[in-house]
Chain A
């Protein structure tokens, strides 16, 4: 069964350093999502791509976060500089197409700890 791949699974970094996370969605899935999940809370959407275009980045802290999906396949989420409050699980998900009935398939996540 096809899965969403993410790396690294765990990342420890110091405050003010740069970090990057990678996501490879299920093959053929046009829509890709990045979520942030703070401990004890549900996931919150950071950015959504349709192919290579950003559809929604209203909750992305653009002063320090950036995301790209250059060829409409895999994606990278970057934080520069990292802050203590960025410690969280970062989840990537993909769906076959854009639509609020489409199932989103989640990767295993990257757990970020900022010291």
Chain B
């Protein structure tokens, strides 16, 4: 079975600073990895996904993530955050079924 661990429940950062949200996964088979963002009282929106190929994946809103197979990680990064990036971020994994397994989320709080 697959599992996802988001190591930080909250990440505070100042506006225009860089940020990295950590995600580790566990699986005995090859996986596909996703990052979603959830704005208050809304559904989830896909930021980016890793299926195969280049380990550096670029997504929307200036976010990118790097797949590291040896460390079983898929960390989300942004070089310069905005106030509007304040939200909840979820890492998710799927493997040999199309069932998405989500982490518990990381709350990114951007301060002016």
Which residues of A are interface residues toward B (Cβ below 8 A)? 4, 6, 9, 31, 40-45, 48, 56, 91, 93, 95, 98-109, 111
Contact = CB atoms under 8 A, between A and B. Distances in A.
Contacts, number: 61
A100 B98 contact: yes
Contacts of B90: 42-43
A43 B43 CA distance: 10
A45 B104 contact: no
Dominant SS among interface residues on chain A:
loop
Nearest to B44: A106
A107 B43 contact: yes
Chain B interface size, under 10 / 10 to 19 / 20 to 34 / 35 or more: 20 to 34
A51 to B, nearest CB: 14
Interface stretch (B12-20, B45-53, B63-71, B72-80): B45-53
A98 B100 CA distance: 12
Nearest to B49: A103
A108 B42 contact: yes
Contacts of B45: 106
Contacts of B61: none
